[in-house]
Structure 1
Amino acid sequence: MFIDEAVVEIHAGDGGRGCFSYLREKFRPKGKPDGGNGGRGGSVFFRASQRVETLQDLSIRHILRGNRGDHGGSKNKHGKDGEDIYIDVPVGLTVRTYDTDEIIHDFTEVGETFCVAAGGRGGRGNAALVSRNNPDPDHAQYGMPGEQLKMKLVLKVMANVGLVGKPNAGKSTFLSSVSKAHPKIADYPFTTLQPQLGVVRLPRRHQSFTIADIPGIIDGAHLGKGLGIQFLKHIERTQVLAILVDGQSENPLAEAEKIVEELRQYSSLLLEKPRVFILTKGDISADTVVPEGWFSMSSVTGQGVTEVLHHLFTLVAQIKGSQREPVEVG
């Protein structure tokens, strides 16, 4: 199940209590203060990992708790700090405040780590409270509570290229033909019910890019119709938009214009991304006139696919500022 939103409560560990104690020795029933400090509470960290793709686990674990610090002991024994906990999250996750939806952190790279809730400071024992003005403290400190926060987690799939088009435009077939991804393919709308990611590896070494198959867009998607804005948000993370139109369409240009308008209605920033228009199913629509500036391909026969991949990779490389040589076609 692809879950891309979750609400969680984070409770970092409380600090341990400081100890109130006096040194006990023979013939010295009450020596100097020797109560140790409490340990710091464990903090809670999020860590971006490739091993996690959805928020399913976090949607089940509504409350995440850190470890409490140990209490201090006599003879100046300090309590052990609570162990920090690290929770793996997907790359592309944004951590937001629950009430105001303000972005606290945005995970964009594998291995990126962020402390979402800090553990509480341990309380000082009476030995640590000794001063010139107070040589015999009559108390020890309680530990401070760890941070407690309620957060909204939102995941946006990260990919170099986002495949955009109406249901049955051939996006899933294209993705499965150029990568090892296995999206569901069938002859009815909305076969893609969740974003699918695939890695395209080109003939030359180290030349690759990622493609995301975004569920089909219909008229009114920006208003929530069909799968609506639930998946339109994933397009925001992509660098290049590949707009696929069924080669059997009576008016490919008009269909493409509707798709672009849906993107604009959702966010005008999407129109700033490079766009590539592709007429699909070229094997069964040989008589269709390909609009000027468009690509035509057939994912079944492979006709035109190499040219499309070449162009997409070149755009991605330009955006990254890469100095890699262009892909050889053929």
Structure 2
Amino acid sequence: MQVVYGHHNAPAWDEAAIAIGNFDGVHVGHRALISRARELAEANAAVTVALTFDPHPSALLAPARAPRLLTSIERRIELLGEAGVDAVVVEPFTHELAGIAPNAFVDDVVIFALRARAIIVGYDFSYGQGRTGTVEALRAHGIHAGIEVAVVPAVTVDGEVAASTKIRGHLRAGDLVRAARMLGRPWDVDGTVVHGAERGRALGIPTANIRPEVELVVAPGIYAVTLRIEGGTALPAVASLGTNPTFVEDGDLGLEVHVLDWSGDLYDRRVRTTFVARLRDERKFDSVDALMAQIARDIEQARAILAR
């Protein structure tokens, strides 16, 4: 799979079926767009291309309202590749791009630079300056330019439209099951293992302190997870996302992962934490002994869940 940063650097494909979107999380709705793009690419002997944007438009235009992302740009690219695209174009979202007229965006970026033979968008797609370009306008533009435009309808899961915003809401509520159904997989986050206070090691339960690559959207608490070291296999583990209230007042939120039945050095390693099940809320214990007893119960519960 090719990864291209900016439409000016796109190779000279003969023709392309271009799926356009932010694709945060690459959920089941996004995968429906990619599937339709692959169909049109095959029908037109074209390449399947995902056009996405970084940073998220809201981070530039309305930073106070910008969402916490479900995936880093690197993970987004990886997931788009797994969905079956031949290339990902990561378009820098700048004030210049935000100010381009809708017709100019389609003509200059999508058709001329990326050589679109077909354009695939979601039912709620908007584009161009002030997001004034509509699906109806895009269809009309396609007819005029001789470009096929496919609009993919909403994908529903358990009666809800699959959307990144709704997935964030489920994760904030600690509802991993509903989030996973919309994503089509358990939610995960990549990060790097860094040095921490080493309280877990002192208690005989060493943890990896992880600096995530995106600001975490999931609710604080204790989780059954897997931890995969880059290039390795997923290992069963228990995660604590919280502030360590038994030891610290008003501590910073941190992600700590204890890998079951494993020992080794993870410092500075890149890892992926996959959230499988929520076990309980984080809480303050009256004693270290009470905390240790609960941790033992958490480990056994996680072990049972992850063995299924």
The two structures have a TM-score, normalised by structure 2, of 0.27
Of the two, which has the highest radius of gyration? Answer: 1
Q: Greater strand percent: which structure?
A: 2
Q: Which has the higher helix share?
A: 2
When normalised by structure 1's length, the TM-score is 0.25
